[in-house]
Amino acid sequence: MPWIQVKIDIHPAQTDSIEELLLASGACAVTLEDGEDHPIYEPDRGTTPLWTRTQLTGLFDASADMQAIIPNIEERYLALSGNPLPAHRVEILEDKDWERAWMDNFHPMLFGKRLWICPSWKEPEDPDAVNLMLDPGLAFGTGTHPTTALCLAWLDAQDMSDKVVVDYGCGSGILGIAALLLGAKRVIGVDNDPQALEASRENTRRNNIAEERFEIYLPGEAPDVEADIMIANILAQPLISLSPTLASMTKQGGLLVLSGILEQQASEVSERYSEWFDMDPSEQKEEWMRLSGTKR
């Protein structure tokens, strides 16, 4: 079953109130993890100590409308505590603990005919292929999730020579870096998570790509650009909200590829983007869809 997770960096005193808000908002489960590297040794009897910096994660069904849920949680938490909700991010959940699975079991994967995604701790199977060396770190995007795989296969099938690409919601940087390795001239990556921006920068360096070719920005800070190719692998509701922005950043005749969309959400997203784009037939992998089109 596909899932979305909300990660919130909290102080232990905030745990109960935020956990209750997440559960009341439809979270199926809430977990607590160490937000840094502070071990807890044997606690006193009857106590449940938490780390000084704790990461609280709420798990939601992927069809949940996070565009409505998050503002509601923010409003209710402000009313309860008088303080804004701590730093948080919403992301698609990989199908398992991929950081651990990669270290133990992962082998390079081929997408399309040319593009290999290789864990940074293993040698490529074909040194002469287009090899993207990746360490996902703290950001979504390993190639294992269907949404990312659909976008990688699409990129491999395109002529990327000298193209300007926008990767909106760049995560680990996997799609933007793939575009550059396949021949793109310049990529503008945008993400609202500072950890994702750092992962994108690190993976850019890992692939020996000059940092000025992969420009990385928070939303609202990206330069005015008319992209030859617009990529957005996020979630259906943000894609709908962002449609005027993504359309305005795509040149006439430019290509669009969208993912992070469940099967039952595809028609609504496609209809929204058809205001600006001639949409292609959709592609599906498991429960997830990829939409693409050409700007009129």
CATH number of the domain within which 33 lies = 3.30.70.120
pLDDT at 234: 92
Q: Residue 251: inside a domain, yes or no?
A: yes
Q: Residue 103: inside a domain, yes or no?
A: no
Over residues 164-187, mean pLDDT: 95
Q: Residue 278: inside a domain, yes or no?
A: yes
Q: Are residues 63 and 12 in the same domain?
A: yes
Considering only residues 76 and 41, tell me which one the structure prediction assigns the higher pLDDT: 76
Q: Are residues 70 and 151 in the same domain?
A: no
Mean residue pLDDT across the chain: 86
What is the dihedral sign for C-alpha 245, 250, 251, 254?
Answer: negative
Over residues 76-103, mean pLDDT: 75
pTM of the model: 0.74
Residue 207: closest CA among 133, 103, 117: 133
Domain boundary among 92, 116, 145: 92
3-state secondary structure 191-227: CCCHHHHHHHHHHHHHCCCCHHHEEEECCCCCCCCCE
pLDDT at 62: 87
pLDDT at 194: 85
Over residues 205-210, mean pLDDT: 92
Task: Summarize the annotated binding site for S-adenosyl-L-methionine as residue ranges.
Answer: 148, 169, 191, 233
Q: Are residues 160 and 287 in the same domain?
A: yes
* Residue 211 structural domain: 135-295
Cβ atoms 4, 70 nearer than 8 A: no
Q: Residue 279: inside a domain, yes or no?
A: yes
Q: Are residues 143 and 236 in the same domain?
A: yes
Is the confidence at residue 105, as pLDDT, over 60? Answer: no
Q: Which amino acid is at 127?
A: P
User: Which residues have CB under 8 Å from 100's CB, separation 6+?
Assistant: none
Task: Summarize the annotated binding site as residue ranges.
Answer: 148, 169, 191, 233
Q: Residue 188: inside a domain, yes or no?
A: yes
Q: Are residues 201 and 287 in the same domain?
A: yes
Q: Residue 80: inside a domain, yes or no?
A: yes
Q: Above pLDDT 70, what percent of the chain?
A: 85
Q: Residue 113: inside a domain, yes or no?
A: no
Q: Are residues 169 and 260 in the same domain?
A: yes
Please, where are the H alpha helices in the chain?
A: 15-24, 66-81, 98-105, 146-156, 174-181, 194-206, 236-248, 266-273
pLDDT at 271: 98
Q: For 111, phi and psi rounded to 5 degrees?
A: -120, 120
pLDDT at 106: 60
Q: Residue 285: inside a domain, yes or no?
A: yes
Residue 24: closest CA among 75, 63, 62: 75
Q: Are residues 174 and 278 in the same domain?
A: yes
Over residues 60-71, mean pLDDT: 90
| CATH code for position 289 | 3.40.50.150
In the chain, how many domains are there? Answer: 2
Q: Are residues 77 and 196 in the same domain?
A: no
Dist. CA 257–CA 152, nearest whole Å: 10
Question: Per residue in 23-33, is it b (16+ CB within 10 Å) or e — as a string?
Answer: eebebeebebe
Cβ atoms 178, 203 nearer than 8 A: no
Cβ atoms 26, 98 nearer than 8 A: no
Q: Are residues 210 and 67 in the same domain?
A: no
Dist. CA 96–CA 165, nearest whole Å: 30
Q: Are residues 141 and 282 in the same domain?
A: yes
pLDDT classification of 99: cutoffs 50, 70, 90: very low
**Most confident of the ranges 8-12, 71-75, 290-294:** 290-294
